[in-house]
Structure 1
Amino acid sequence: MPSRLIRKLEAFVPLTEAEKTLVSDVERNVRTVAPKTDLITEGDSPENVLLIVEGFACRYKITSEGQRQIMAYLVPGDFCDLHIFILKEMDHSISTLSACKVVEIPRKRVLEMLKTPALATALWSATLVDEATLREWLVNIGTREAPQRIGHLLCELLLRLHVVGLVSEGRFELPITQAEIADTMGLSAIHANRSIQVLREADLITLARGHVVILDFKRLAAFSGFNPNYLHLRNQAEAGIGAIPQNAAISF
């Protein structure tokens, strides 16, 4: 089975077997990191690029008042900023949300991959999609009501996990708490909980035994104003909304 990273990169550009081997070689020396652990913190001087192989992580900042704002979720196959080693110091922190398997890729190996045209295109595409996703999150928080914000996030994560092969029969794990949803959406924990209840009462999702089930993905996407164009997938027909099962169960 192709690695999560290869699946993600091939959503942008087809890769040759030699290119896939080059990618696989950088995924060696995996280490396991416990949940709620900083991989790198604001002010650190980064040397290597971090790749999430398994689990969920996030980018975040802490305000002067001690409030956390989550700015991105990192899923298997995601780099924690591809060109991070260019920075003199980190302007944000990266932390695991669940237990993660992580690879540290030296600067030299990243530059080697960038010498291969197809890989360079795929890696640049991944970086541009990270930027596009941040723009979409800004629109989401700045213009949508709280239930739509959360619905939009669930749609995005379902599609991103589908691309890297982590959706099976409409089911996938999402180890994110309601408190973390609140820190992402700029909401209080109470407001986040009430917004999830709105989604449930609209028959868009159900909550039972620690699971959220998306009852109708297309309807939730319409309700939330979700358009996957900012993910810039190579084959929208295969990887877009139409490929997602109507019923999608999410551990939550």
Structure 2
Amino acid sequence: MSASGSDLTPLVRKLESIASLSVEERQAVESMPATVRLLDARQDIVRDKDQPAHCCLVLSGWTCRYKLLNQGKRQIFSFHVPGDLPDLQSLHLRVMDHSLATVTACRLAFIPHESMRELTIQFPGLGAALWRDTLVDAAIFREWMIGIGRKTAFGRIAHQFCEMYLKLEAVGLAAAHRCELPITQVDIGDALGLSNVHVNRVLMDMRSQGLITLRGRALVIEDWRALCAAGEFDPAYLHLEPGAS
């Protein structure tokens, strides 16, 4: 199914959360050709060693980057929400060095690489915004490395919750310290190098300390300052534009 202009609005919101776009640039993004597909949860979108010809834009739902190790062990590198282009690097790196999969049921738009290249040539400002997006992505990787290498389990999970909330808030998908959180304890463990038992224990501690409430697939951050302190969370690395949400 072909995408309409409004289908690509999440990408506009995402880029405007980290850069300023002109009216012409917004229109150019929304007019790009794209094919929309619906995928169930836990489905691969693109696999390690694939050579994709399209970039995947998340329109709804959550996705993750991951790699499988020996004996089926999984390392999640990142979670992605509406507006993200989680395989943007495939525009310049011909072969995938990891896999991309849905976490929840997703609505995805696939934009041909050639269209993305034409867009960046015709609108250098958009090329700079996409480049900025990859740099922010790298900054997030660095923060995750610090967490896995040096923070406690409590600190890692606190940091991840703060990060995901601000990413969702920046694109208008969270407010008042409440947001969707459809990832499982196994997902959290696979992202942060923790066992399911350890994740469960930390979440219980966070609840007992009045930091968070988990209601089904929703996260309520009851004490933002305390959670930020626990995770040593400084949002500067997200490089969000003022008033992005």
| Match in the other structure for 2:202 | 195
Normalising to structure 1: TM-score of the pair? 0.88
Q: CA RMSD in A?
A: 1.8
Match of 1:178 among 169, 176, 185: 185
Which 10-residue stretch deviates more, 203-212 or 115-124? Answer: 203-212
Q: Does 1:47 align with 2:47?
A: no
Q: Tell whether the 8 Å contact from 1:205 to 1:215 is kept in structure 2 after alignment.
A: yes
Match of 2:142, SS state, is helix
Q: Distance in 2 between matches of 1:124 and 1:33?
A: 28
* Paired residues for 1:22-101 under 5 Å: 22-26=28-32, 28-101=34-107
Q: Tell whether the 8 Å contact from 1:85 to 1:107 is kept in structure 2 after alignment.
A: yes
Match of 1:167 among 159, 171, 174: 174
Deviation at residue 15 of structure 1 after TM alignment: 1.2
Q: Distance in 2 between matches of 1:232 and 1:173?
A: 22
Q: Which letter maps to 1:180? A: D
Q: Tell whether the 8 Å contact from 2:42 to 2:104 is kept in structure 1 after alignment.
A: yes
Q: Which letter maps to 1:188? A: S
Deviation at residue 190 of structure 1 after TM alignment: 0.4
Deviation at residue 28 of structure 1 after TM alignment: 4.2
Change (3 A) 1:208 1:7: closer
Change (3 A) 1:85 1:203: same
In structure 1, runs of 5+ residues without a counterpart are: 244-252
Aligned residues: 238
Residues 47-69 of structure 1, C-alpha deviation per residue, up to 9 Å, x if partnerless? Answer: 11111111100000111121101
| Match in the other structure for 1:126 | 133
Which stretches of structure 1, 4 residues or longer, exceed 4 Å deviation after superposition?
Answer: 208-211
Among all aligned residue pairs of Structure 1 and Structure 2, give the percentage whose two residues are the same amino acid. 41
Q: Which letter maps to 1:97? A: V
Residues 196-244 of structure 1, C-alpha deviation per residue, up to 9 Å, x if partnerless? Answer: 1121122111244554321011221111100111111232xx35xxx8x
| Match in the other structure for 2:165 | 158
Q: Tell whether the 8 Å contact from 2:39 to 2:107 is kept in structure 1 after alignment.
A: yes
Normalising to structure 2: TM-score of the pair? 0.91
Change (3 A) 1:209 1:135: closer
Match of 2:56, SS state, is strand
Residues 26-45 of structure 1, C-alpha deviation per residue, up to 9 Å, x if partnerless? Answer: 37432111110000111211
Q: Tell whether the 8 Å contact from 2:154 to 2:230 is kept in structure 1 after alignment.
A: no
Match of 2:20 among 3, 14, 34: 14
Q: Tell whether the 8 Å contact from 1:43 to 1:89 is kept in structure 2 after alignment.
A: yes
In structure 2, runs of 5+ residues without a counterpart are: 1-5
Q: Does 1:135 align with 2:129?
A: no
Deviation at residue 127 of structure 1 after TM alignment: 0.7
| Match in the other structure for 1:227 | 234
